[in-house]
Amino acid sequence: MIDVDDLIALVRNYNPRTNTDLIRGAYDYGRRMHDGQKRHSGEDYFTHPVAVAAILTEQRLDDATIVTALLHDTIEDTKSTFSEVARLFGEEVAELVDGVTKLTNLQLSSTETKQSENFRKLFMAMSKDLRVILVKLADRLHNMRTIKSLPAAKQARKARETMDIFAPLAGRMGMQWMREELEDLSFKVLNPEARSSIIRRFIALQRETGDVVHKITADIRSELERAGIDADVYGRAKKPYSIWRKMQEKQLAFSRLSDIYGFRIICRTDADCYRILGVIHQRWHAVPGRFKDYISQPKSNGYRSIHTTVSGRDGTRVEVQIRTRQMHEVAEAGVAAHWSYRDGERAQNPFAVDPARWVTSLTERFDNGEDHDEFLENVKLEMYSDQVFCFTPKGEVVQLPKGATPIDFAYAIHTRIGDACVGAKIDGIRVPLWTRLKNGQSVEIITAAGQRPQATWIDIVVTGRAKSAIRRSLREENRERFVKLGHELARVAFEHLGKKATDKALRTAAKTLGLPDETEVLARLGSAELAAREVIEAIYPDLAAQPSEEIDGNRSVVGLEADQSFRRANCCQPVPGERIVGITYRGQGVVVHAIDCPALAEFEDQPQRWVDLRWHSGRHAPTNTVSINLTIANGAGVLGRVCTLIGEQKANISDLTFVDRKPDFFRLIVELELRDAEHLHTVLKALEAESDVAQAERIRDLSRKP
């Protein structure tokens, strides 16, 4: 374990003015709090916080972050408290330690909790102080370096969580070295055979070709000296996981991979970067399509560099990165460069990104009321995406993920432009809205007054910002219809309990459910985002409890005489949850109609035949047949997906009839067995959301006999 004097020496290397008393005090306090605790390896537990602090000194971070690393497990795992840490080390450190503790308690890969909700909390913690996630990443890195002491099942779970969440997060923050190491450590756990295979092939390749890295590095240095350019040149073989991923993406064998070596040239000025690029391209052949200029178009996390891939006479491809010393510091530290120290002063690196602005840009588009699953989808899109750079007609640069479309481009400019988009031109030529953009293209968006986003756009766009804006617009468009439907569902649900769905009752439910008002409750009811049962439970938890036993279909209607039988009318097919009335037939018992069934008009002058009925309160069996009219795309597997979707909603298909076949669409009537009106609504909404379903509606047919 690193002793306190060695740790202080590591900090003094970049910050001679460090508060040694503060660090020494935190070291002694942390060791005392963790006294007697052991890691799975048998080592004293305090070796872990010290190792985390040492990792952070490599980033030249401030005293508060180093102290937080030393104390990051004290509040969670010892008798230490927030107030005690604040009293001894200050409010800033206490807040940081508390933030790391909360992150540690988020089970980001748990199947028992909502991963999307935890992702939202993670980003909320980041938005308060990004140093919290820097400590957490260093904590995860040390845990992955020492993962061998854990049981195999826990190793696999930690490695998968690291690969899925922490590695891409480190990359998104610009800490590429950490991303690569986290990925490779996870790869070693998740697929050790593949990793060993790649290492063995590397060794065999070196035997055949010699030390390629040394040869090429010497060649580059020689060319730069000849051109009179002062620069440092570094070369290395790429990490095993990076090679494995490339093999999987390109479906190539190891022997066919070319650019498995990377070289970095670090110089003094921006002008030198472009001079070096010219020297490299004169000496070696540039590979078309493999050039990226992140100096003129930097990444959002501050990363700047020129990337090019070249090939030599023997066909060996190598990637070359060219950057200045200041650019290199940001490339190594990413957003953490904001806190870096040099010679006791906060480093004034012009390329370091303001972390507050960076986190705001990452999270602002997710604060508009989207549900948590949508938030998770958007975050992952943002974290895993490569980038393309396109131009507006005025020459302004728009940065987008790889695979972005003109619709993404429009929303990147402004939500209003995206909503009104009707077409696009790329380099002056009209193109479909689903066209994938490429680097350097000029994009012009064509708009029209009154245009609204189309539901199909959801499947076209790739950016979280565009998806959020489209869904928000679609929700607003449907909101009035959803509110009306929700009002009816609420009325029926409350009547089952002998209650009324008053505005006051709905406001109470809204408060309990954490929603702004009663209108939002109704809108979510109508859009199937909220079940009527949840609204009832929010106000009357005892009354809302449903019997575990399903109601017998033969006694599902209340209001019949003892000797009366009933059946549901074929014309309106009423289901539990809808208001009903009975019509008596001699020798046929009672036929149950929906209260709004047009067929009732013919019985207006026969009041003696009307019977006041209602559905039995409780859980009905899924035996109520309802016919729906379905129009679906004529495509391979579409019908199968639709049937599967219906099954996923716990509904049974009792009959299916094709009524119209066209080259592009099929129309069919599907007979479903359902529980109640809420069940029917859930199925219809699920079908309407399916991109291959053009129409899904309930059939009420007067031509059918009652």
- The catalytic site residues sit at 76-77
How far, in Å, CA of 28 to CA of 42, rounded?
A: 21
Residues whose CB falls within 8 Å of the CB of residue 443, separated by 6 or more in sequence, listed in order: 390, 391, 392, 398, 406, 409, 424, 425, 426, 437
Beta-carbon neighbour count of residue 95 at 10 Å? 19
Residue 600: HSE in the Cβ half-sphere, 13 Å Cα cutoff:
16
CB of 354 within 8 A of CB of 301? Answer: no
The answer to whether the CB of 292 falls within 8 A of the CB of 306 is yes
Helix (H, G, I), strand (E, B) or coil at 234: strand
Tokens representing 216 are 């090429």
Task: Measure Cα distances from 412 to 409, 418, 458, 476 in Å.
Answer: 5, 8, 15, 21
Closest CA to 143 of 70, 41, 245: 41
The Cα-based distances of 189 to 70, 242, 374, 645 in angstroms read 27, 15, 31, 36
DSSP 8-state assignment for residue 440: T
Task: Say whether 137 sits in a helix, a strand or coil.
Answer: helix
The span from the CA of 658 to the CA of 454, in Å, is: 28
Strand partners, 308: 291, 320
Q: What is the CA radius of gyration of the chain?
A: 32
Residue where the block lists tokens 């020459």: 395
CA distance 16 to 323: 28
Amino acid identity for residue 249 in this structure = E
Q: Are strands 232-237 and 261-267 parallel, antiparallel or unpaired?
A: antiparallel
Q: Rounded CA gap, 419 and 441, in Å?
A: 22
Please give the structure tokens belonging to residue 569: 């009318």
Element (H, E) at 519: helix 518-526
Q: Could you tell me the sign of the dihedral formed by the alpha carbons of 12, 18, 303, 393, in that order?
A: negative
Strands (E), 429-504: 429-431, 443-447
